Amino acid sequence: MEKISIISARDGIRIIVNDEKASVEDLLTAWQPLCDDEVIHKQYAEGNHKACQGCKVNCCKTAFLIPDLVALKKLSRGTDLTYQECVKRYFDENELKLGLVRLKSNPCVFLKNNLCSFYDQRALMCRFYICADLLGDAEQLLYSIAWIGSTATQLFAEENGLLPERSGQGSGSFERLFYGLINDYRNDPRVRLFMEADDYGNIPLKPFLETL
Ligand code: SF4
Ligand code: SF4
């Protein structure tokens, strides 16, 4: 039996974890086919049933993205840039001044010719987002993993001097929302899983299932 099953039911997508030793990487492997799926109902896809590739709405054009810490580590390794250099090249200067490690966006800095140029290394928020209905537990599971990963990036940036010295909390509605979420997870012990991992295969799924 597969470690994780993704079930597309009439009322939404369900995630069933069959192996308690499954990792976040296993979840990503099981989840990825949804991007190419042409059967499930996708709210913004042409005709509501199309693969994400070629989507005219393309959520990458407007994504507000704080990548999780594993994605940031992969970006640094993949580009041979230091964290400081990555932040300078790929992150939004104004948001950094406001204290948030948000990628350059509108459109996303990695979007080239309507395709993600960072696809295999893209962040959890990108990998998990799909404009389809998810059942409650599935949404909560994906949401908590992605947000804890992003919180790890934020804390890593604060601890390693990646934010400007005088950065402060932003005042826009998105910034307030993001700060609120980061502060909710700031003391969550699962943040350490992202601090210590170099890959998603090193992050067990079990601690995220226990709070569902
Ligand atoms: S998830 Fe994004 S790319 Fe895929 S169909 Fe929806 S809006 Fe388009
Ligand atoms: S990193 Fe790639 S998948 Fe994520 S928002 Fe940017 S272009 Fe889209």
- Best residue among 55, 65, 89, 112 to mutate for probing ligand 2's pocket (most ligand atoms within 8 Å of CB) is 65
* Atom number of ligand 1 nearest to Cα 35: 4
Q: How far is the CA of 111 from the centre of ligand 2 (A)?
A: 6
Q: What is the pLDDT along the chain (212 residues), one digit of tens a residue?
A: 899 999 998 899 999 999 999 999 999 999 999 999 999 999 999 999 999 998 999 999 998 899 999 999 999 999 999 999 999 999 999 999 888 999 999 999 999 999 999 999 999 999 999 999 999 899 999 999 999 999 999 999 999 999 887 666 656 777 888 888 888 999 999 999 999 999 999 999 999 997 66
- CA nearest ligand 2 atom 8, residue: 60
**Rounded to two decimals, what is the model's pTM?**
0.94
Q: What DSSP assignment string belongs to the chain?
A: --SEEEEEETTEEEEEE--TT-BHHHHHHHHTHHHH-SSS--TTSGGG---STT-SS-GGGT------HHHHHHHHHHHT--HHHHHHHHB-HHHHHTT--PBPTTTTTTEETTEETTGGG--HHHHH--SS-B-HHHHHHHHHHHHHHHHHHHHHHHHTT-S-TT-----SHHHHHHHHHHHHHTT-TTHHHHHH-SSGGGSBSHHHHTT-
